[in-house]
Amino acid sequence: MAGSGGSKLGAFQYTKCKMDDYYAPGRNHLFVPGPVNIPEQVLRAMNRNNEDYRSPAIPAMTKVLLEDVKKIFKTITGTPFLIPTTGTGAWESALTNTLSPGDRIVSFLIGQFSLLWIDQMQRLNFNVDVIESDWGAGANLEVLGSKLAADTGHTIKAICIVHNETATGVTNNLAAVRKLLDHYQHPALFLVDGVSSICALDFRMDEWGVDVALTGSQKALSLPTGMGIVCASPKALEASKTSKSVKVFFDWKDYLKFYKMGTFWPYTPSIQLLYGLRTALDLLFEEGLDNVIERHSRLAKATRLAVEAWGLKNCTQKEEWFSDTVTAVVVPSYIDSSEIVRRGWKRYNLSLGLGLNKVAGKVFRIGHLGNLNELQLLGCLAGVEMILKDVGYPVKLGSGVAAACAFLQNTIPMIPSRI
């Protein structure tokens, strides 16, 4: 029996070893641009049993959550929807509730995620007018201006844009898009993917006249994946009344019906994610949303300084497009960037982002968003330096860390409660 049991255990250990590939002591260092690290407070808040979502407690919490969620979009007039889905589902919700099949959409192709959203638009039978830029460049607003100027019959029903393209580390200027729409007095809806920007970058839904904005729980909110948050302007809600797109699970009308009833949920929500969202918002508001945005700006600048010290280039072509949530780093042609990512995970328990599609093998990505501090980032940068050395790049160890340290040392704000 003993021998038999030992044999089975050995087989199990071998299988587990093959599945996990190796054992790495310590914790995984997660520096992809989402999903991100989850704060301990959020983990504790979600560590609870299921509850009856029809009880008085869940609707009461949901009502307050909906009001507080509006703050991260910086909207007074918007109506939020907390949908048990991913950012992809939030995309579909934004499109199908406001548009009808055949409607003309102008959308920008600047990287993998804008490409995927465009693919969804086309599969939903919208007429997509694509404005394409080099990967590493921002949205071509000159072309948009020309299209708006020529569209005197207002055949364009929506402008769709990814605020922050994580594949290339590019952030687009939403205020400039709104300025063009206003200049040409064009009534097109303004739909924005803020999946990797909201709660990390400056976002002003009301001021910029955004009609539908959306984000995902696994990004700057620092929650698990599974909640798509969509916020609709009064104009978007009005458009939803005449939309002819087929929708069931994502239908805003069902949500609005239950909002009026005071029960809020047309189907079962994730109770644990609701409690997690409550705590995540509390943490953001305690730090101060403007301070959160500034923290992301500091960490991003430190990362870019490290990349520069290593002698490498940013995939983003102009400073005006630099993202404060992810940096895409271009590697020399003799290095396969996927090997950097593989080695980081296998040897150092460090998770970095792969290059995607057109930049596969050419870039690796450092995510610096969510509930993250300076020392965590410096640990990541030190790990990247060791990986670069491993793959044969002549990096001077400590150069990037020193550059980031020098910048952060002079910019970290003093927190009175910790002095």
- Averaged confidence pLDDT in the chain: 94
Residue type, 393: Y
Per-residue pLDDT of 243-267, as tens digits, reads 999 999 999 999 999 999 999 999 9
Whether residue 296 sits in one domain with residue 232:
no
The pLDDT of residue 3 is: 41
Per-residue pLDDT of 115-125, as tens digits, reads 999 999 999 99
For the chain, state the CA radius of gyration. 23
pLDDT(52) > 50: yes
Which pLDDT band, with edges at 50, 70 and 90, does 414 fall under?
low
| Residue 6 covered by a domain | no
Per-residue pLDDT of 223-233, as tens digits, reads 999 999 999 99
Q: 408, 58, 41, 410: which is closest to 267 by C-alpha?
A: 58
| Residue 5 covered by a domain | no
Q: 48, 18, 42: which is closest to 284 by C-alpha?
A: 42
CA angle, residues 273, 370, 159, in degrees to nearest 5: 85
pLDDT(342) > 90: yes
Whether residue 302 sits in one domain with residue 264:
no
The pLDDT of residue 155 is: 98
pLDDT(163) > 80: yes
Select from 228, 255, 285 the last residue of a domain: 285
Which pLDDT band, with edges at 50, 70 and 90, does 22 fall under?
low
| Residue 369 covered by a domain | yes
| Domain count within the chain | 2
Whether residue 317 sits in one domain with residue 253:
no
Cβ-proximal residues to 180 (8 Å cutoff; 6+ apart), any chain? 141, 144, 145, 148, 186
The pLDDT of residue 24 is: 73
Distances in Å between the alpha carbon of 33 and those of 25, 253, 268?
Answer: 23, 33, 29
Whether residue 234 sits in one domain with residue 343:
no
pLDDT(65) > 80: yes
The pLDDT of residue 23 is: 67
Q: 94, 171, 187: which is closest to 136 by C-alpha?
A: 171
Whether residue 163 sits in one domain with residue 25:
no
Phi first, then psi: give them for residue 27, nearest 5 degrees.
Answer: -95, 160
Which pLDDT band, with edges at 50, 70 and 90, does 26 fall under?
confident
Select from 285, 303, 321 the last residue of a domain: 285
Cβ-based neighbour number of residue 273 at 10 Å: 21
The residue range of the domain holding 365 is 20-38+289-409
| Mean of pLDDT values over 289-302 | 97
| Residue 320 covered by a domain | yes
Distance CA(88)–CA(373), nearest Å, equals: 28
pLDDT(19) > 80: no
Whether residue 198 sits in one domain with residue 78:
yes
Which pLDDT band, with edges at 50, 70 and 90, does 4 fall under?
very low
Whether residue 191 sits in one domain with residue 143:
yes
Distance CA(41)–CA(1), nearest Å, equals: 46
pLDDT(172) > 90: yes
pLDDT(143) > 60: yes
Whether residue 304 sits in one domain with residue 270:
no
Whether residue 338 sits in one domain with residue 309:
yes
pLDDT(331) > 80: yes
| Residue 404 covered by a domain | yes
| Residue 168 covered by a domain | yes
| Residue 219 covered by a domain | yes
Distance CA(30)–CA(97), nearest Å, equals: 35
Beta bridge partners of 214: 193, 230
CA angle, residues 141, 147, 151, in degrees to nearest 5: 145
Whether residue 386 sits in one domain with residue 264:
no
178 labelled ligand-binding: no
pLDDT(7) > 80: no
Whether residue 50 sits in one domain with residue 33:
no
Whether residue 345 sits in one domain with residue 208:
no
pLDDT(273) > 90: yes
The pLDDT of residue 11 is: 41
| Mean of pLDDT values over 277-293 | 97
- Check which CATH number belongs to the domain holding 34 and give it: 3.90.1150.10
The pLDDT of residue 419 is: 46
Select from 285, 302, 321 the last residue of a domain: 285
| Residue 15 covered by a domain | no
- Check which CATH number belongs to the domain holding 193 and give it: 3.40.640.10
